[in-house]
Each structure stands twice: as C-alpha cells, then as structure tokens.
Amino acid sequence: MEGDKHMQIIDMHCDTLLECYLRNKSLRKNDLHIDLEKMRRAGGLLQFFAIYLISGKGAKDENITLSPYELFFDIEKLYQQQLQENRDILAPVKSFADLEKNQQSGKLSSLLTIEDAGLLEGKPERLQILYDRGVRLMTLLWNYENCIGFPQSRDEVEHRKGLKPFGVEVVERMNDIGMIVDVSHLSRDERLRGLSNLNRKFGEGIFNGNDRKNLFQKC
C-alpha cells in the first residue's frame, strides 16, 4: 500500500547499513526491514542510517578484525557507494536546507549517524573528521562502558555513573560543531543532571532515542 501523501516519515535509527555491509545487500531492495523501495511506498522523507560499530564478541562472531574507527570508514565507503548507485531516488542530508532541496526534487533523504562514540578512543580531534564525512548525530555509547561514559544499569551505583570527563568534553565539542547528541543507553540520572546543564550552556538540542516523543529540545 502506498504511503499517505499527507504524512511523511522521519525514522531516526536503523542498523541497515551494518547488515548491508555484513551480508552484501543493497539499500535499494533487500529482505531487511528497511530498503529504499519500502521507504518510498511508506511515505518516507528522511532516514537516519546508523553505522553501528560492532565490537567485542559480536565483531569476533562476524570475523571483523578492524578497530571501530577503521570499521567506520569501511562502512562509510559502502554508504557513499550506495548513495551514488541510488542517486536517482536518494540524496544525503547535512543540513536542513539539504532536506528541503531533496524534498522539492522528490528524493528520499538520508542522514549518517554513528552508534557508539567509543571509536573516538580519547581523541577529540576525530569528531571534526567524522563531521566532515557527513556524520550529524552520534550515540554516545551502547550497552557497555567506553571512553565517553557508562551505560544504563539495574545496579543503582552503576546507573548513576554517567559521563566521564572526556565524555563531557565530547558533548561540548559536538554542540560546538553542530552534531546531535544521542543519549540512548547512557546512565539516566547522570544524563539528566549533566547533559541538561550542558544543553542549556551550549544552546543545542539533545535527542534521546529512548523517548521518541521529544525529538529535539531547545533550552
């Protein structure tokens, strides 16, 4: 069934790029949950394509020997190839003006994101490199501790650990360059105390992937 012409969908997360990378599939048509043909039928406007940086046992199970930082560029290369192959119906978004332009030309829009900022490995200068490659949103961590901070936990002590000093620096820099901060999986209490204060200080919106009702919050 064709999508409602009066309703256009913005989906802020999918792991399709990783699956295409691992299974040698195309974005245009595949047997995954998301492909470009399904998006057009459903009335899609903008898809956030996450580069999920699989690591640890998951990486070993998939025979991935690259570091998370190296893996980003490998999957990003695939993303660029898919953009080129599907340029008749898909175009990247790096600003709101790009979204408007793509909408006017009848194309689907894609926005590149990263899940797990552990690829920074304590090197804040990598943020600008990622931004220059088109990344406009980054999830600070997944379900494990990294150089940014600590994940949500059922243990009350662990649940309150929040951001590390480097994580605070990263959030500041992300706000400065205009990269959306996704706090999904981050310890809840510290997220509210630490990130909300940083958000007011730097005047940028923070996106919480666990609360889909509030996409952007201006402080």
pTM of the model: 0.84
Q: Identity (one letter) of the amino acid at 195?
A: L
- 24-50 pLDDT, tens per residue? 999 999 999 999 999 999 999 999 999
The token pair at 120 is 């920074």
Rounded Cα distance, 154 and 126, in Å: 32
- Identify the H or E element spanning 11: strand 9-11
Q: Give the model's pLDDT for residue 166.
A: 93
Rounded Cα distance, 17 and 10, in Å: 17
50 DSSP 8-state letter: E
Max CA separation in the chain (angstroms): 51
- 93-102 pLDDT, tens per residue? 999 899 999 9
Determine the topology of domain 1-115 in CATH.
TIM Barrel (3.20.20)
Choose among 54, 163, 49, 70: nearest CA to 116: 54
DSSP letters spanning 40-96: HHHTEEEEEEEEE---HHHHHHTT--S-HHHHHHHHHHHHHHHHHHTTTTEEE-SSH
- 79-121 pLDDT, tens per residue? 999 999 999 999 999 998 999 999 999 999 999 999 999 999 9
Residue spans in the chain of domains classed CATH 3.20.20.140: 1-115
Main-chain phi, psi angles of 48, to 5 degrees: -85, 115
Whether the Cβ atoms of residue 183 and residue 12 lie closer than 8 Å to each other: no
Residue reference for tokens 């609360």: 211
Strands 108-115 and 180-182: unpaired
